[in-house]
Amino acid sequence: MGLDHNIIGQTEGPWTASWTADDALLYAVGIGAGQQDPTAELAFTTENTADVTQQVLPTFGIPLVQFGGPPRQWGDFDPALLVHAEQALALHRPIPPAGTVKVRRTVTEIEDKGKGALVAIEYTADDAESGEHLLSTRTSVFIKGEGGFGGERKASHKWTAPEREPDVVARFPTAVNQALVYRLTGDRNPLHSDPAFAARGGFERPILHGLATYGITARLLINELTGGDVSRVSGMDGRFTKPVLPGAELIVHAWLTERGALFQTRDGDGDVVLDRGAFFVK
């Protein structure tokens, strides 16, 4: 049957998603907080440090809403052929250390990319008690072998890295078990842990979650651009361009703008792994 195109425009939910302070701490550790210096980033990694108030990294909101709820019924295709393509996050207020939200999910479009299909999904999360909007996130996934159905292709939004040296360069050596820790935050896709499943997708070994690279990038930019103050972060966009193997170094190049920064994340070989980045601060 392949990919079911009747899913376009379908909204599912609301369902509830709850989290605790421990969940937020685990997420922070999953994207490397405190990994290089356990006495740094204590606002993200502890809840009981003297004179330090726990803060929740904004990108925690993505696994919070994207993993859970009703199973996605998208048709019949090999899930090993699905890879993450793009991710965007918009925050309306800081995520509290614990809470409950109501989540809705909508498939907004399916685009023919020739060798595959690009499926875009939007999620919204509202506070379960007050109804106040907390965040929205948009993800796109590429499904190999599901293209060729026709339709007009969207024009890519223009993005060009500034022709000057970056204002910020931040490095992070991922751990060889980074994916095994990150998967505990909710993304149990076996592409990141099961060698046989990864081989079906064309990879020599399990790869790091794109959202781990995304979260690590956000953490580095938060520390560099806001001094660790998550209340100043309003959003982040990026496109995944190359798989990352656990243990690889990630290097973020950022160019300051009036709204925050443009960025690219590269691996230790200099190849761009997260491109067309925009990081928004208040």
Query: How does pLDDT run across 14-32, given as a tens digit for each residue?
Result: 999 999 999 999 999 999 9
> What does the pLDDT read at residue 80?
87
Percent of the chain topping pLDDT 90: 90
Residue 14, preceding peptide bond in cis (omega within 30° of 0): yes
Res. 92: pLDDT tops 80: yes
> What does the pLDDT read at residue 151?
75
Find the range with the poorest average confidence among 8-12, 147-151, 262-266. Answer: 147-151
Res. 76: pLDDT tops 70: yes
Residue pair 90/235 in contact (Cβ under 8 Å)? The answer is yes
Domain count, the chain: 1
65: amino acid identity, one letter: V
The mean predicted confidence, pLDDT, of the chain is: 95
Mean pLDDT score, 87-100: 98
Residue pair 238/217 in contact (Cβ under 8 Å)? The answer is yes
Res. 153: pLDDT tops 90: no
Supply 25's token pair.
């701490």
Residues annotated as catalytic (active site), given as ranges: 187, 192
First vs last Cα of the chain: how many Å apart?
46
CA distances from residue 146 to 17, 83, 91 in whole angstroms, order as listed: 31, 12, 32
Res. 163: pLDDT tops 80: yes
Mean pLDDT score, 192-218: 96
Mean pLDDT score, 217-244: 98
C-alpha to C-alpha distance for 56 and 96, rounded to whole angstroms: 7
Supply 128's token pair.
């379960």
Reported confidence tier of residue 1, pLDDT bands at 50, 70, 90: low
C-alpha to C-alpha distance for 159 and 156, rounded to whole angstroms: 9
> What does the pLDDT read at residue 68?
86
Q: Looking at the chain, list the stretches that DSSP marks H as alpha helix, in order from N- to C-terminal side.
A: 21-30, 42-45, 61-66, 178-182, 195-200, 210-226
Q: 247 in helix, strand or coil?
A: coil
75: amino acid identity, one letter: G
Res. 254: pLDDT tops 90: yes
Please report, for the domain that includes residue 266, its CATH number.
3.10.129.10
Supply 162's token pair.
């500034």
C-alpha to C-alpha distance for 256 and 141, rounded to whole angstroms: 29
Q: 17 in helix, strand or coil?
A: strand
Predicted model pTM = 0.95
Among residues 146, 171, 142, 160, which one has the least CA distance to residue 76?
146
> What does the pLDDT read at residue 82?
92
Q: What domain range is 35 assigned to? A: 2-281
Mean pLDDT score, 84-109: 97
236: amino acid identity, one letter: M
